[in-house]
Structure 1
């Protein structure tokens, strides 16, 4: 049986409606994630030492009894999405359901070695997330980024003018760096035989500290905006330098660009890469540039991974940046004067690219 709507089957129309509604209400996914961080639920379960019952959780949260059912519904949905596991506590008379952490919610336990709660708090701040209501207005503005439309300035200028949000952003980037550090521990081949490295846009030095600990003979410089590094202290083989990567980058055997180039247009990336090339070819040396970023590969990646990368590409478009395919990366490297490159897998969605002058 077919419908009268473009000859579509009712089953196909209903399936399309489900897809539409899934994305229509997708913002609730983010808000539920924000809620669990704000309520500190991952820490509560972690500190409890075992799965926690709904009644116990509600008691700890001091939630009115009239809202206990709503807590249960939120937890059920978060569990369905993989953030908690629902188990049955058979020691209780009514075999009450209890909630246990999963790998995803373990990443939200504050003060843990690998914690992304700061990323949730930063990205879902209404100042940032609210800007996405203005996509229509932004798409008609020839020169402005989305944040230029909504905040009255570029994102980086906004950070400079808002210390509290700048601090939140730096904490978020530091938390993400810890995830990358986990992958870098198995990348000895990247850093062996290097005597010096500059981490451009290295923030407060989260990644640089791991590199220094792993390779104590390697001299590491964290290079970032002056206001980011001005109050940070040097150590034996780690130092901080403030400056502008578009003007010059300290000389070294290697330059690290960790999740930097996706923030910028092709034209700006070429400018940055040319400065990197100058830094690693000083005094006749032929060092390398190490890029950690996404490589879109729709033909080889599974659908969910491609969806994540394309989602990030839309996100970066709002900053006038982009996620790139290998052929797009290659074009940038060649236009910046590099001769060769090698791509290696790093994390689930990030790759490590070594570029040679």
Structure 2
């Protein structure tokens, strides 16, 4: 999501090869192999499909190209159906802290909400969130609420 693979393929208008994606995403050349492995994982999980593009300039066979699927189309920024802010919010450290402590919350008899339990045992256990972090989280929730309305 943050990398913008779905956006790059959408803006390209057709499936993209690994080298085209690496160029469009402005990746460091040493990271192209990692991108390939990442795309294999995302393809396996149904976020992208692989197709072969027609051979060019005397090549024997076409390269593998990556195309969008219905789930990845939901991550394209700027569309009314974009769920990227919601996914980003679900993966935010504050949200994860809450779910990481859910077993403890369900098994103990305390007068706390699940969110309070998460804050007590997670990222903010030693100090309150910084104002910068709070502002970031506030903006994030505004985006989440906007995309779900």
In which range does the TM-score fall when normalised by the shorter chain? 0.7 to 0.9
Q: CA–CA distance in 1 between the matches of 2:119 and 2:109?
A: 14
1:164, distance to aligned residue in structure 2 (A)? 3.4
Q: CA–CA distance in 2 between the matches of 1:150 and 1:108?
A: 27
1:163, distance to aligned residue in structure 2 (A)? 4.3
TM-score scaled to structure 2, two decimals?
A: 0.78
Q: Match of 2:111?
A: 143
Q: Match of 1:99?
A: 66
Is 2:39 aligned against 1:71? no
Greater strand proportion:
1
1:126, distance to aligned residue in structure 2 (A)? 1.2
Deviation beyond 3 Å, 4+ runs, structure 1: none
Q: Pick 1 or 2: higher relative contact order, CA cutoff 8 A, min separation 6.
A: 2
Q: Match of 1:117?
A: 84
* Alignment coverage as a number of residue pairs: 133
1:141, distance to aligned residue in structure 2 (A)? 4.1
1:63, distance to aligned residue in structure 2 (A)? 2.3
SS at match of 1:39: coil
TM-score scaled to structure 1, two decimals?
A: 0.35
Q: CA RMSD in A?
A: 2.0
Q: CA–CA distance in 2 between the matches of 1:105 and 1:150?
A: 30
Structure 2, unaligned stretches of length 5 or more? 121-128
Alpha-carbon displacement from aligned partner over 1:48-72 (angstroms, at most 9, x marks no partner): 1111100111122232333222211
Q: Match of 2:14?
A: 50
Distance 1:163 1:141, change over 3 A: farther
Distance 1:171 1:77, change over 3 A: same
Structure 1, unaligned stretches of length 5 or more? 1-36, 153-157, 178-357
Q: Match of 1:174?
A: 146
Question: Could you say which structure has the larger radius of gyration?
Answer: 1
SS at match of 2:38: helix
Contact 2:48–2:72, Cα closer than 8 Å, also in 1? yes
Alignment of 1:74-223 (within 5 A): 74-92=38-56, 93=59, 94-139=61-106, 140-152=108-120, 162-177=134-149
